[in-house]
C-alpha cells in the first residue's frame, strides 16, 4: 500500500515522502495517528502541486536570505559601552544591542538569530558576529565596541 507521509516517521521516511508499507501498518497506525494519508491518484497530484509551490516559495526565501547575508558582510556596526580607564567594558555586549545597532543601519534582524563568534567581548575593539538568515544560510558582520 502506498502512502504519503505528513510527518517524519523513524525508519520509514521524512515528511512528504511517498512510501510503500503493509496495509495493516498504514490503516491501523499511520493514518489514524495522522502520520500519513493514502496515496490515491488525486492525492498524488495534489501532493506534487504542493511540492512545486513549496519549492517556488523556498527559492524566494533562499534568495532573500542570500541578499541579507551579502548586505550584512558590508556593514560595520558601532556599539557603545561604558568602559573603565584601562579600556575594559563594564558588563558585556549583548545580541539585543547588536540587533538595535543593525536596525539603526537599516537591517532588521531578531536578536535570537545573532551569535557573537568572537571570544568574550570585554575590551574596546572590533569583533565578529554571525546572523542566521534562513535555515543553513548565515551572514557574518563586524561590530566595533566604542566608549560612551
Residue 91: per-residue pLDDT = 87
Inter-residue contact 133 to 107 (CB < 8 Å): no
Residue 102: per-residue pLDDT = 95
**Closest C-alpha to 62, from 113, 139, 132, 137:** 137
For the segment 21-72, what is each residue's pLDDT rounded down to a tens digit? 999 999 999 999 999 999 999 999 999 999 999 999 999 999 999 999 999 9
Number of residues written out for the chain: 148
**What is the helix (H) or strand (E) element at residue 76, kind and residue range?**
strand 76-81
**Closest C-alpha to 130, from 96, 80, 95:** 95
Residue 86: per-residue pLDDT = 85
Is the confidence at residue 134, as pLDDT, over 90? no
49/64 Cα distance (integer angstroms) = 23
All cell numbers assigned to 74? 558590508
Is the confidence at residue 87, as pLDDT, over 90? no
Residue 22: per-residue pLDDT = 96
Is the confidence at residue 112, as pLDDT, over 90? yes
- How many CB atoms are closer than 10 A to CB 67? 12
128/63 Cα distance (integer angstroms) = 24
Residue 135: per-residue pLDDT = 81
Amino acid at each position: 500500500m502506498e502512502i504519503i507521509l505528513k510527518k517524519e516517521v523513524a525508519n520509514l521516511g521524512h515528511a512528504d515522502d511517498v512510501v510503500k508499507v503493509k496495509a495493516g501498518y498504514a490503516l491501523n497506525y499511520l493514518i489514524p495517528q495522522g502520520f500519513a494519508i493514502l496515496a490515491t491518484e488525486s492525492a498524488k497530484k495534489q501532493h506534487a502541486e504542493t511540492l512545486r509551490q513549496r519549492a517556488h516559495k523556498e527559492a524566494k526565501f533562499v534568495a532573500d536570505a542570500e541578499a541579507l547575508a551579502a548586505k550584512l558582510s558590508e556593514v560595520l556596526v558601532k556599539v557603545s559601552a561604558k568602559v573603565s580607564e584601562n579600556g575594559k567594558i563594564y558588563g558585556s555586549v549583548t545580541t539585543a544591542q547588536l540587533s538595535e545597532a543593525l536596525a539603526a543601519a537599516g537591517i532588521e534582524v531578531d536578536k535570537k538569530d545573532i551569535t557573537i563568534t568572537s571570544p568574550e567581548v570585554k575590551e574596546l575593539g572590533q569583533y565578529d558576529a554571525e546572523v542566521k538568515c534562513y535555515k543553513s544560510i548565515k551572514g557574518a558582520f563586524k561590530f566595533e565596541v566604542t566608549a560612551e
